[in-house]
Amino acid sequence: MTDLTTKNPRIKHGWLRVILFGLGFIIVTLLISIPVAIGLFFSHLDQLRADPTHAISTLLQGSHLWEMVLLEFAVSLITVWLFRTYIDRKSITSLGLQLSGFTQESIIGFFTGPALMGLLALLLMITGRLQWVDIIFDPSTLFISLGMVVLIAFSEELVFRGYVLSNLLDSFSNKWVALLLSALAFAIFHFSGPDLTPLAFANLFLAGILLGVNYIYTRNLWFSFFLHLSWNFFLGPILGSHVSGLNMPTLLVTEIKGDWLVTGGDFGIEGSVINTALSLIAILVLALAFERKYNPAAARPTAA
């Protein structure tokens, strides 16, 4: 069996591999997702032709969300496997799927998501902008929602931290430049999401930085996967907010009122200016912690 780790990529520059990967992702989407989506949503065919972006956003808000999540997962997995195997000439596990040795980071990621979203919801509740008006406990629905957020988190982390950020780190000597570019790609990917505002777009960019801040030190995906998973699950199915504009079945039913800059409006509380502040603080704290852990010499003050 050929050892892929000993081979050089077919394309030398990592940034060029990322651009080609983006084009490949679009092609795979066209080859797989669009025909399947048209078959599934034939009744929306006229709407898809007239305004594809609005039609897709509408579908994501409706009963076909599960099918759309599966399509995203399939496209992500196929595209990453093709490019990692035949362009990078490395194994897909080399993107950072080794769990051994990264248990601590995984735990930190898992609890960071609920901590941030819980604090955000608490601040909105204290200021009178968020109220929980009902509880709908349906274990089967919560389990289905958990399955969706697992697939979303895994596919997006595999693409944006695993493939995109990994290859950008190969191209840029400054790891922060690579991280910022990958975060921008992550935010642009969500551009067609429902009810996206400029502030929500900025918060998605910050989320991309937060999700990648561990990867630039470890090149391991489990911190970002568990953070992404717990963030989405706690935000949507538990707290009752939209997740990046998507409406999922929820345990708590919320009522939001007040200025959309503070509440996030129809996009969900992720689009709040409070989330902007919390994300910036979290990025700073985690960046300092990981810098101290993985680059202690640089983090140590220079003696006078």
Residue with tokens 């274990």: 139
pLDDT (average), residues 176-195: 92
Output the pTM of the full model. Answer: 0.89
Does residue 201 carry a pLDDT above 80?
Answer: yes
In this prediction, what percent of the chain has a pLDDT beyond 90? 64
- Tens of pLDDT, residue by residue over 124-156, are 999 999 888 888 888 888 898 999 999 999 999
pLDDT recorded at residue 40: 62
- Say how many domains are in the chain: 1
- Tens of pLDDT, residue by residue over 247-268, are 788 888 888 899 999 999 989 9
pLDDT (average), residues 182-203: 92
Range of the domain at 227: 4-299
Domain assignment present for 32: yes
Instruction: Locate 161 and state its tokens.
Output: 């931290």
* Alpha-helix runs per DSSP H in 190-234: 198-212, 215-218, 222-233
CA-closest candidate to residue 256, choices 267, 246, 248: 267
Cα distance between residue 258 and residue 235, in whole Å: 19
Domain assignment present for 166: yes
pLDDT (average), residues 117-121: 96
Domain assignment present for 223: yes
Does residue 191 carry a pLDDT above 90?
Answer: no
Cα distance between residue 207 and residue 268, in whole Å: 14
Instruction: Locate 227 and state its tokens.
Output: 């953070």
pLDDT recorded at residue 114: 96
pLDDT recorded at residue 299: 52
What angle (nearest 5°) sits at the alpha carbon of residue 288, between those of residues 282 and 289? 85
Domain assignment present for 160: yes
Residues 6 or more apart in contact with residue 36 via CB below 8 angstroms:
67, 71
Cα distance between residue 253 and residue 73, in whole Å: 28
Residue 246 main-chain phi, psi, to 5 deg? -85, 140
Does residue 51 carry a pLDDT above 70?
Answer: no
Cα distance between residue 284 and residue 204, in whole Å: 16
Q: Which range is most confident: 24-33, 50-59, 291-300?
A: 24-33
Domain assignment present for 304: no
DSSP for 240-277, please give it: ---BTTB----SEEEEE-S-HHHH-GGG-GGGSHHHHH
Residue 130 main-chain phi, psi, to 5 deg? -135, 135
pLDDT (average), residues 39-45: 61
Burial class of residue 279, CB neighbours in 10 A (0-12, 13-18, 19+): buried
